[in-house]
Structure 1
Amino acid sequence: MTVATTADIEEQAARRLERYRRVTYRSFMFATVGYIAPGLAGLEKAYSDGDAGAPVIAAVVVGLALLTWFYTRLVRAGLEGAAPMRDIVPSGAVAAALSLMLYTSPLFSVIPVFWVSALALSPISSRRLAALSAGTGVYVGGMATVAAGHLYPDGKAPWYLLFPTLSAVYAATSGIVMYLNRYQRRMWELHQEAYAARDALARLAVTEERLRFSRDLHDLLGHSLSLIAVKSELAMRTARTDPDRAGAEMADVQRAARDALREVRSAVRGYRAVELDAEIAGVRAVLEAAGVRCDIGDLPDGLPPEVRSVLAWVIREGATNVIKHSEARSCAITLTLYGGSVVLEMRNDGVRGAGDGAGSGLTGLTERVAVLGGEITAGRHGRDGFLLRAAVPLPREDAGAAGAGAGAGRPA
């Protein structure tokens, strides 16, 4: 079924936005492997080489767990708005403390880089991000320079060349990672903006439709009602002195009223043409929200407006009965052309008790359908099923056109 209500569209858009939010958040959570795995590997090497004892190992494991907790908070706060200082400062302290393990393994150099990348998700100015990147590069470069003298005592590179080189490398790495995270955050913001824009456009479309309908009614009825008022007043003034003229004026009033009624019906017919589509979509949304699977067949083309309106009322009342008087798990709606009539059938399961389907709602529907020469039947169908069936005859000219297009029905 291709027709969807506004509620359907909003629900789908909200579901897509939430799905993208979860994907974005989980992608950053998966990134924690980028510093946890090197950290554990460096820890294992330090323990094997005798550079770290059991207390240090335990402290580093606790530090990695604490950093992961802070990293999660920084990512979530960054996607929702901005990370607070109460998370930024202690997380930076933990990352700086873990970076001291560079003295045992160069693998720990990735930890401050990931910390800076999490901060990039918050709305921080480019100048501050550049300062953070440079500061991180200098700090890690200094730690790496000191660690290089311990880990590689035979190295020939002097510290005054090694320090600026390592600082520049780590600063550039931090800047690249921060840029990538800022780009991904911008994509998340674009999804949020698109969702907000779609909602605004939907509201604007509803407002414009209301304005259009009010303009149509004003244009159609303004002149006619003014004419009726003037003619009626004139007829009242001349009723005693000139009865013939008063009668002529009232005849004009009658003619103007009939013309206005015809114009209003013609205008409203355009709105009624989609009433059946909208009612089918609304019924599907309501039933599925109530936990009832709704299957709807193809909608025949060429149905006249009055027939569509009556069928829409039948579908609405039938759906109400499904929700109020049954414990249905599924409901099937079909519309078919048969013998110059359109036949609507609504089948559902989960009937409670031994109800026969009688009620004021079905009585009103019977009267509506009878106006067009149709009939309604309702009753149990099978062990726990219920069948509501409405047969509405088509006008002769519409029956031929609808019959010709019956094989090419469009999805409801």
Structure 2
Amino acid sequence: MTVATTADLEARDTRRLERYQRVTYRSFQCAAVGFVAPSLVGVGMAYTDGHIGVPLAVLVLAGLALLSWYYARLVRTGLADGASRRDIVLSGTLAAALSVMILTGPLFNVIPVFWVSAVVLSPLSRRQMAAMCVAVAAFCSVLTTVAAHRLAPDGPVPWYGLVPLMFGIYVLGCFVTVFINRYQRRMWEMHRETHAARDALARLAVTEERLRFSRDLHDLLGHSLSLIAVKSELAMRMASTDPARAGAEMADVRRTAREALREVRSAVSGYRAAELDAELAGARAVLEAAGIRCDIGDPPDPLPPEVRSVLAWVIREGATNVIKHSEARRCAVALTAYEGSVVLEMRNDGVQGDGDGNGSGLTGLAERVAVLGGEISSGRHGRDGFLLRAAVPLPAPAEDTAPAEPVAGRTA
């Protein structure tokens, strides 16, 4: 039977975290394109209008390329442990120098916001972020006011009215950018914390199970092994002086060893046995931990132990296959008694590939179910669903030997 090991679950969680990291990085790359593209258009317009020459245009393009490289570096280090002060200062100086191009056209207004969007991904206090937004807004509002009077000297708004207006617009834009990127950073941290918590819980569960098993073995074997050691030592001392007593002691050693072996086998078989209620609870826990909504109905009572054990194995294999071989978001388990049989149906969505369900694990389940005279089937159900169905006959109830009294008006 295919069983998901701890390493498999850890690898699956790691792949999910890496997938989210790639999506996050790509979203910031798309944002970088949205910031850089207007600046490139601004360079072209400034050159066409004669505000800058070829040397200055080449220098600005080189600066935009370097600022884009700094942006990627600030995003990567900011999401990790935080960007260094040196990178923040150098990139801020470069952004301030490029912001002077606001004097040639309004499309360069995105450059300071571009720099702020990368810096706020590093761990900063609210006071530091507010001070940075206010400083950027003050610097850019002055440049914008000068550019407005330079490009449109007869504008309707005087400089003392334009400065506070532009200052407010820049502050609002910076704070919106800070809010969005800080929210995305918080989601990033939540994914990392969830991944670390899952790993810690898995290790804790393994540790607790080892401790429980060691306590059980100590309780089972501690007394027996101590008795075997004492009687063996006594038999060795009496082997030459009282052979009959030594033989009796060794007989007790053999009996104690066999009893201890029987207890160990019983304990191990108890650990290896599958119980229906425990498997239902375990399936719900592992599926919901994997982000799959799980609806499980109550099993009909009473069920014979052998039937409960077989159904428990079906639940275990079905839950394992849902996690390993599908992208399910919902799983439903139903147990119903029908015409002398108990029917287990396990449905999930998000099936991958052809979904024929002919794995070795299901083959082993079919053999287990066939021992009790039942049958198992699996396959696609609907557009993207999968259905695992097991029908196990129930043993016939003991017939009452007392003659039944006739009931008037009843027909067969």
Task: Name the TM-score, length of structure 1 as normaliser.
Answer: 0.64
Q: Which residue of 1 aligns with 2:395?
A: none
Q: Which residue of 2 aligns with 1:164?
A: 164
Structure 2: gaps of 5 or more residues:
275-308, 314-358, 379-387, 390-412
Deviation at 1:256, TM superposition (A): 2.5
Q: Which residue of 2 aligns with 1:30?
A: 30
Deviation at 1:255, TM superposition (A): 2.9
Q: Which residue of 2 aligns with 1:225?
A: 225
**Partner of 1:404: helix, strand, or coil?**
coil
Does the aligned pair in 2 maintain the 1:135–1:171 contact within 8 Å?
no
CA-based RMSD of the aligned residues comes to: 3.3
Structure 1: gaps of 5 or more residues:
275-300, 306-331, 343-398
Q: Which residue of 2 aligns with 1:21?
A: 21
Counterpart of 1:407 (choices 355, 369, 376) is: 376
**In 2, distance between residues paired with 1:39 and 1:402?**
74
**In 2, distance between residues paired with 1:33 and 1:236?**
87
Deviation at 1:215, TM superposition (A): 0.8
Does the aligned pair in 2 maintain the 1:302–1:402 contact within 8 Å?
no
Deviation at 1:75, TM superposition (A): 1.1
**Partner of 2:161: helix, strand, or coil?**
helix
CA distances 1:265-318 after superposition (whole Å, capped 9, x unpaired)? 1112234458xxxxxxxxxxxxxxxxxxxxxxxxxx859x9xxxxxxxxxxxxx
Deviation at 1:231, TM superposition (A): 4.6
Does the aligned pair in 1 maintain the 2:2–2:360 contact within 8 Å?
no
Deviation at 1:182, TM superposition (A): 1.4
**In 2, distance between residues paired with 1:59 and 1:237?**
99
Give the share of equivalent positions with the same residue, in percent: 61
Q: 1:401 to 1:231 in 2, by over 3 A?
A: farther
With CA pairs under 8 Å and 6+ residues apart, which has the higher RCO, 1 or 2?
A: 1
**In 2, distance between residues paired with 1:62 and 1:237?**
94
After TM superposition, the structure 1 stretch with the greater mean CA deviation from structure 2, 250-259 or 159-168, is 250-259
Deviation at 1:157, TM superposition (A): 2.1
Q: 1:74 to 1:239 in 2, by over 3 A?
A: closer
Deviation at 1:243, TM superposition (A): 7.3
**In 2, distance between residues paired with 1:247 and 1:238?**
9
Q: 1:267 to 1:103 in 2, by over 3 A?
A: same
**In 2, distance between residues paired with 1:36 and 1:151?**
23
Q: 1:87 to 1:400 in 2, by over 3 A?
A: closer
Counterpart residue type for residue 37 of structure 2 = A
Counterpart residue type for residue 5 of structure 1 = T
Does the aligned pair in 2 maintain the 1:302–1:405 contact within 8 Å?
no
Q: Which residue of 1 aligns with 2:330?
A: none
Does the aligned pair in 2 maintain the 1:99–1:111 contact within 8 Å?
yes
**Partner of 1:268: helix, strand, or coil?**
helix
CA distances 1:331-356 after superposition (whole Å, capped 9, x unpaired)? x857858xxx96xxxxxxxxxxxxxx
**In 2, distance between residues paired with 1:246 and 1:76?**
76
Counterpart residue type for residue 149 of structure 1 = H
Q: 1:67 to 1:248 in 2, by over 3 A?
A: same
**In 2, distance between residues paired with 1:53 and 1:38?**
19
Q: 1:408 to 1:302 in 2, by over 3 A?
A: farther
CA distances 1:349-400 after superposition (whole Å, capped 9, x unpaired)? xxxxxxxxxxxxxxxxxxxxxxxxxxxxxxxxxxxxxxxxxxxxxxxxxx89
Deviation at 1:184, TM superposition (A): 0.8
Are 1:198 and 2:167 counterparts?
Answer: no
Are 1:181 and 2:181 counterparts?
Answer: yes
Q: Which residue of 2 aligns with 1:136?
A: 136
Counterpart residue type for residue 96 of structure 1 = A
Q: 1:408 to 1:333 in 2, by over 3 A?
A: closer
**In 1, distance between residues paired with 2:194 and 2:4?**
20
**In 2, distance between residues paired with 1:10 and 1:188?**
19
Aligned residues: 301
Counterpart residue type for residue 179 of structure 2 = Y
After TM superposition, the structure 1 stretch with the greater mean CA deviation from structure 2, 6-15 or 114-123, is 6-15
Are 1:59 and 2:28 counterparts?
Answer: no
**Partner of 2:124: helix, strand, or coil?**
coil
Q: 1:187 to 1:254 in 2, by over 3 A?
A: same
Are 1:151 and 2:151 counterparts?
Answer: yes
Q: How does 1:69-80 map to 2 (within 5 A)?
A: 69-80=69-80
Deviation at 1:11, TM superposition (A): 1.5
Q: How does 1:268-279 map to 2 (within 5 A)?
A: 268-273=268-273
Q: Which residue of 2 aligns with 1:87?
A: 87
Deviation at 1:172, TM superposition (A): 2.2
Deviation at 1:109, TM superposition (A): 0.8
Does the aligned pair in 2 maintain the 1:137–1:167 contact within 8 Å?
yes
Deviation at 1:240, TM superposition (A): 8.2
Q: How does 1:251-400 map to 2 (within 5 A)?
A: 251-273=251-273, 302=310, 333=360
Does the aligned pair in 2 maintain the 1:137–1:171 contact within 8 Å?
yes
